[in-house]
Amino acid sequence: MPHSDTLADAAASTPATMPTTSKANNSVAGIPRAHFTSISVSAQQTAPTIKSLEQREAETLTQERLDELWHDLVEKSKSDPKFHELIADKEVELKNNNLFHIKVPNLYFDTLLQPYQMTILDHIRSATGNDMISYKVAVVFEKTQKKAYLPNEKFEEMASRNHAMYTLRQLFPVIDF
């Protein structure tokens, strides 16, 4: 092939070839048809509607609405005993319009809730019409009361409840409280 100076000259001098189809081996230019992928496009698909600011404000989530939706989810979960046991006694707290916390006693509940994550989110999202809602698991540590074992600890515990114990100790220093 002679050297051409322009791309147009090269394109004009090269014959355009189309892949040939062979019905006998069901291939295109030697490549089996099994390697081709077809995509169908439906003309009836519509773009998602854009909601106005007023509609979005009307769909804002409140703590009362979240509590109501959580109660509905607990009622629906009765058909799955494991799921119902996980969420029945848990509280939810709204942090902002798109985030709420599920309060649990320890982090192990996070792994237990993972299989049900989409069930929880689908219920809340479909009821509010807000696809941006998500949740986080918040561990709530209960304050444990220290048990008094030693005589000094017992006295301090009693004195914290009744300040007259300090007066009794001064009046009777010999008695060990």
> What digits encode the pLDDT tens for the residues 86-115?
999 999 999 988 899 999 999 899 999 999
How many Cα atoms sit within 13 Å of 121 on the Cβ side?
15
- In the prediction, which pLDDT does 52 show? 58
* For the ranges 27-31, 49-53, 88-92, 94-98, the one whose mean pLDDT is highest: 88-92
Domain boundaries, the chain: 58-139, 145-177
**pTM of whole model > 0.95?**
no
Q: Which CATH architecture has domain 58-139?
A: 2-Layer Sandwich (3.30)
At residue 58 the predicted structure's pLDDT band, cuts being 50, 70 and 90, is very low
Structure tokens at 27: 């291939």
Query: Do residues 169 and 158 lie in contact, with contact meaning Cβ atoms separated by under 8 Å?
Result: no
Its sign, for the CA torsion 81, 85, 91, 92, is negative
**Mean pLDDT, the chain, integer:** 78
